[in-house]
Amino acid sequence: MTPPGISGSQFAAALKAFGAAVGTANVFVSDEDVLAYADHYSPDETKHLPSAAVAPANADEVQAIVTLAAEHKVPLWPISRGKNFGYGGAAPVQKGAVVLDLSRMKKIEIDVQNGTVLLEPGVGFFDLYDYLQERKIPLWLSVPGNSWGSVVGNALDRGVGYTSYGDHAARICGMEVVLGTGEIVRTGMGAMAGSPTWQLYRNGFGPGWDTMFCQSNFGIVTKMGLWLMPEPEAMLGFDFEFDKPDDLGWAIDTLMPLRKQGIIQQAPSMGNWLRSAAVMTTRDQWTKSPGPLDETVITAIRKRFNIGWWSVQVRTYGPLEIVEATVKHIKNAFNGRPVLDIKPARWVRGDAAEGSPMSGVPVSFPLANANWFGGRGGHIGYSPVLPPSGDLAMAQFKRTYDLYQRFGMDYHASFAMGERSLTNVNQILFNRNNPEMMQRVDKFFHALVEDATTKRYGEYRTHIDYMDLVASVYDFNNGAQRRLNERVKDALDPAGIIAPGKSGIWPKAYRGDRA
């Protein structure tokens, strides 16, 4: 396979040039190597197969590869660790693009006093966690539910975690970026050479560019500054369990005012019973019937895990006397409400590590949910953003639930409470060995997006297969934002070689490839 529009001999010349820049041992072309960069969780892993991968060791080598790629017209797909499962993993939008694998770049620079890090893209959550633990540095991470990936890649894709630092993109402070022209820029205060405030003050002077490199293809991030949470004296909270599907609405209306006031500083995520069941068990342990799961099965699952129809974990972080008062206030908000169960959670400095993502400990076991249907499992995410209202959440839940039933899929959803919004994260779990089921997945996804679009809800993030679809619903003034994105793209990356098609942004050279 070769990149789009490139002949075998042109590609061979490009690969030879890449090898001269980074060492031939860091250019991967064998079928086995290339397959390692496929999206192993998607319905069809051949659809987005890259033609090769190249792994530079530092920003200078990234710069060299970008310059060569522009010269040879070879599109690159940058990844940090490529574990963006549910959204495409390491695979490019464009079949045949070359993966630019940054996982060898693993430098960590830490400012313990100010609680910041400057990271290269290859640093995984486990790497950074180990680094802090080994040095007994009292700073906490915020990790996503599956923490195999990199800190940088996750923040760039606007990943989320569970602590009060869980909006990862919001904690970015300063970047180093290689543009499509090969030029290296530093953003924020980093624009001043040798600035001691690069990781401390986000704005810099003039326009701020950090968010421009999130979910975009405007540059390749070779360093990212991030703020970390000072280890709190205490983490207190509750797991709230709710008995009925209809409890979703009032529970959100109870929690949202606390969220808006900043009393709850993390984003509580209210999810249904399948969240636990799919991670801990497989479907055939509960039923042999292929149709929608009936109430007896749902009841059995809930009983086994001692959970509600919905569950939400709320945690507060800080000095003990403050969080004790805070959790009392939160509990009072539920006085007189029909909560099924309130399970207190308490960790105070000096206790054994709490060990979960709630305290920033990386884990990977939640990925086991891909096994739910058996066979070669997979999943993709569907995540529209709603206003923070219980009624709208209920309506969204009912419409989506009906669609899950109609397409014969098992409902797996959560509503994450942002400061002024709800993100309705839905997992579509499937068995890739079941061709009949795989036929349904694509139609189901289109139906979900169509449904959200009628309400004018857009998705916050999406799988590489659906980037054009999701971008197309952002339609104000006949897609003015897309035109703006593509004007910027053409200006910063005139050869159009960085991640063509990412987030529906196509450079001039490949604009005809839009789905």
Supply the residues annotated as catalytic: 87, 460-461
Q: Does 121 bind ligand ADP (CB under 6 A)?
A: yes
Pick the binder of ligand ADP from 2, 51, 61, 83 (CB under 6 A). Answer: 83
Pick the binder of ligand ADP from 76, 179, 221, 267 (CB under 6 A). Answer: 221
Q: Does 157 bind ligand ADP (CB under 6 A)?
A: yes
Pick the binder of ligand ADP from 82, 225, 362, 381 (CB under 6 A). Answer: 82
Q: Does 102 bind ligand ADP (CB under 6 A)?
A: yes
Q: How far is the CB of 489 from ligand ADP (least distance, A)?
A: 13
Q: How far is the CB of 199 from ligand ADP (least distance, A)?
A: 17
Query: Considering CB under 6 A, how many residues would be counted as binding ligand ADP?
Result: 21
In terms of Cα–Cα distance, which of 46, 44, 24 is closest to 34?
Answer: 46
Phi then psi dihedrals of residue 90, to 5 deg: -90, -5
Cα→Cα distances 384→15, 250, 401, 422, 501, Å: 40, 20, 14, 8, 20
CA 258 – CA 255 distance, rounded (Å)? 5
- Identify which of residues 3 and 268 has a Cβ nearer to ligand ADP in the complex: 3
Cα→Cα distances 181→221, 494, 502, Å: 14, 7, 18
- Identify which of residues 82 and 180 has a Cβ nearer to ligand ADP in the complex: 82
CA 240 – CA 307 distance, rounded (Å)? 9
Sorted by sequence, the CB contacts under 8 Å of residue 500 that are 6+ apart come out as: 75, 93, 94, 97, 217, 506, 507, 509, 510, 513
CA 299 – CA 349 distance, rounded (Å)? 37
Cα→Cα distances 325→232, 252, 258, 265, 337, Å: 15, 21, 13, 14, 20
Pick the binder of ligand ADP from 3, 145, 153, 180 (CB under 6 A). Answer: 153
Pick the binder of ligand ADP from 55, 152, 160, 428 (CB under 6 A). Answer: 152
- Looking only at residues 449 through 508 of this chain, which bind ligand ADP when binding is defined by CB under 6 A? 499, 502
Q: How far is the CB of 507 from ligand ADP (least distance, A)?
A: 15
Cα→Cα distances 230→138, 174, 227, 234, 359, Å: 6, 19, 9, 11, 11
Q: Does 150 bind ligand ADP (CB under 6 A)?
A: yes
Q: Does 75 bind ligand ADP (CB under 6 A)?
A: no
Q: Does 156 bind ligand ADP (CB under 6 A)?
A: yes
CA 66 – CA 480 distance, rounded (Å)? 29
> Parallel, antiparallel, or unpaired: how do β-strands 269-272 and 377-382 relate?
unpaired
Exposed / middle / buried, residue 297 (Cβ in 10 Å: 0-12, 13-18, 19+):
middle
Pick the binder of ligand ADP from 72, 81, 168, 432 (CB under 6 A). Answer: 81
CA 19 – CA 65 distance, rounded (Å)? 9
Q: How far is the CB of 352 from ligand ADP (least distance, A)?
A: 29
Which range of residues in 32-40, 78-86, 329-337, 415-423 is near ligand ADP by CB under 6 A? 78-86
- Identify which of residues 29 and 90 has a Cβ nearer to ligand ADP in the complex: 90
- Identify which of residues 258 and 499 has a Cβ nearer to ligand ADP in the complex: 499
- Identify which of residues 234 and 505 has a Cβ nearer to ligand ADP in the complex: 505
CA 99 – CA 69 distance, rounded (Å)? 12
Q: Does 154 bind ligand ADP (CB under 6 A)?
A: yes
- Identify which of residues 159 and 384 has a Cβ nearer to ligand ADP in the complex: 159
Q: How far is the CB of 420 from ligand ADP (least distance, A)?
A: 25
CA 512 – CA 205 distance, rounded (Å)? 38
Site of interaction with ligand ADP (CB under 6 A): 78-84, 90, 102, 121, 149-150, 152-154, 156-157, 220-221, 499, 502
